[in-house]
Amino acid sequence: MRTLGYMALALQVSGAVPPEGGVGGGLLRLVLRSSPVAQFVLLILALFSVVSWGVTLYKLWTFHRAGRQSAAFLDVFRKSNRFSEVQAVCKSLGDSTLVGIFQAGYAELNTQLRQAGGGGAADATTAHPTLRSVQALDRALLRASAFEVGKLEDRVPFLATTASITPFIGLFGTVWGIINAFDSIGQTASTSLAVVAPGIAEALIATAAGLFAAIPAVYFYNRLAQQVKVFATEMDDFSLEFLNIAERNFS
């Protein structure tokens, strides 16, 4: 009977204080009640999260367009008999990573053919002019490939920065909150849940926010880095293909 009485009393106490606004309302209330330092930490984490999601969405959209246009460009390149025909479609497929490599190789090829007295007609059907230096053409293609890889990698390292730094920022907010919680215990000389729990809850919000920012950043950084490797391999293959055609027809 005594046990049943304790259970009834506990139910009455828990029912006397209903949750305000559910989980979301409780989190918002804890954030508003937290110290200025904790709120500043949460603001920094929110900014990291927003920017990293913006970078992720932008790069996914950019990579999708680049992949689609690269496939279309390769189709035109392999069906054309003259480099000038390929050059004509480059403007409409400007998001392709292969366009920049082709234009660099085409420009170097024309420069060498003009110096050789061929008038700059860099077409696969022209048999008169010859290349002066295959190595120079190869260097031009490598330089263009490195430039295109740099464009692909632009802003992606921010995701790695977010993934590595936000958990530590969240941990700092948690440690600061725990310090405040122990300070409250010392001032009130009480270790009851009513005194300790709010401070600990406020402290743990920072850790949760840090993980919320870091976990998606880790996933999408790895995914985008893998896509950059795929693009880089595709560019290397195209450079070799371009070099083989040039060497076969102009040497």
Does residue 2 lie within any of the structural domains?
A: no
Does residue 172 lie within any of the structural domains?
A: yes
- pLDDT higher than 90, residue 128: no
Read off the tokens for 33: 């009640």
d(CA 38, CA 42): 6
Does residue 129 lie within any of the structural domains?
A: yes
Does residue 28 lie within any of the structural domains?
A: no
CA dihedral 17, 20, 23, 26 (to 10 degrees): -100
Whether the pTM exceeds 0.85: the reply is: no
Does residue 5 lie within any of the structural domains?
A: no
Does residue 143 lie within any of the structural domains?
A: yes
Q: Identify the domain containing residue 195 by its residue range.
A: 34-62+74-249
Question: Looking at the 3D structure of the chain, how many domains does it have?
Answer: 1
- Residue 158: phi, psi to the nearest 5? -60, -35
Of 20-29, 149-158, 217-226, the one with minimum mean pLDDT is 20-29
Does residue 163 lie within any of the structural domains?
A: yes
d(CA 251, CA 244): 10
d(CA 209, CA 213): 6
Does residue 223 lie within any of the structural domains?
A: yes
Instruction: Render pLDDT for 12-65 as a digit per residue (tens, 0 to 9).
Output: 433 434 444 444 556 677 667 777 888 899 999 999 999 999 999 999 999 999
